[in-house]
Amino acid sequence: MKHIIILGDGMADHPVERLGGKTLLQYADTPYMDMLAKNGRTGRLITIPEGFQPGSEVANTAILGYDLNEVYEGRGPLEAASIGYDMRADDMAMRCNIITLADGRIKNHHGGHLTTEQSDILIKYLDRQLGNEDIKFITGIQYRHLLIIRGGNKHIVCAPPHDHPEEEWRQLMVRPEHGWENRRDGDRMTAQQTADIINTLILKSQQLLEQHPFNKERAAQQKDAANSIWPWSGGYRPKMDTLQQMYPQIKEGDVISAVDLIRGIGRYAGLNRVTVEGMTGLADTNYENKAQAAIDMLRQHDFVYLHVEASDEAGHDGDLELKLKTIENLDRRIVKPVYEEVSTWTDTPVCIAILPDHPTPVELRIHVAEPVPFIIWHPGITPDGVETYDEVSCVSGSYGLLRLEEFMNKFMEL
């Protein structure tokens, strides 16, 4: 049996008064996910291990069956892998957002939804002005980029910008972990030295970006300025077994995502990174091309991890209508074509799983560490009586409440 996971990033939510007390999954029109829930088996999954922040890098790695206590090194190294930067042994890699600051606060975590082409101009400019043999800025996708600090110490406390909308940014600057202030990590610099370097880069970036012609033009158009970098989630080169080593059922597999983080996880997991024309990581992504790519890869290989970022971005923006639309788009433009195609493959049955990585409640605009609902369906599976796919119905699912790698272990048993 072949396997596909369809991951709606941040899709789960809380009850919303404007929706009559329903969650977005309860309120949205999702006939195909509901059909698969009715004809398959459901449950809930804890995707965030105790002691970890509810980030996508944590949740997606756990969903794929990894023990975070053994492999976790933060987002930076995973995104470096996706970008194609080969980390040295003494590198520390950090996710480096370009964000918007206004009135002393973080207005948004994405610089006004920059395109990759726009960001590339700014990142290369910052690298020329601030980079040297020990500091390097590397362009990623849209607002998501990379900062490399040679000899950097990962024992620092950073604030993910998407978790702190409208908060005062100066109170969120980098500091060393307690007890690491003057400690070195092997031959690396101290955590305090690392924090000082990053905070200096943040302040200098603001001075440079404010004067850049791009932001002067944005100001004239009354658009959000891309006026600060915000590095976070740093780490060293991780050591991970591939999925092929962990699950002998997987001879070859693929990851389909517009997000560097997910593509980086896929690279370390031994998956082929499939590039799809028109995928953006936002609500305007090309759902049809991603669905077709998943179908094509399943014809050739054993496993596909299809990741769609759109719901998470809408949740972070607090856009209720858009998040509802992204959920319905996932149902009609991803789940429907994938199911309708693979359900006809009698000689090569396909097992489908659908789930989010974490909730991104639209009224909170941040990730939360709460269980997420999931569906597993394959031809001939015995249904468990759950009629719809949502956070409430799946509480009654026959899988119950799974933890972390238990999901992948059960999924790959089928």
∠ CA(349), CA(353), CA(355), 5° rounding? 170
| Closest-CA residue to 352 (of 389, 325, 379) | 379
Q: What is the Cα Rg of the chain in Å?
A: 21
Q: From CA 371, how far away is CA 355, in angstroms rounded?
A: 11
The strand pairing partners of 307, in sequence order, are: 7
* Distance (Å, whole) CA 236 – CA 42: 37
Q: What is the pLDDT of residue 337?
A: 98
Q: pLDDT below 70 — which residues of the chain?
A: none
Instruction: For residue range 78-116, list pLDDT tens digits in order.
Output: 889 888 899 999 999 999 999 999 999 999 999 999 999
* pLDDT given for residue 45 in this prediction: 98
CA distances from 71 to 39, 123, 245 (A): 36, 29, 15
The token pair that represents 134 in the structure block: 């020990």
State the DSSP H helix or E strand holding residue 311, giving kind and residue range, or none if neither. helix 310-316
Question: Residue 159 phi/psi, 5° resolution?
Answer: -110, 110
**Nearest one of 238, 267, 249 to 409, comparing CA atoms:** 249
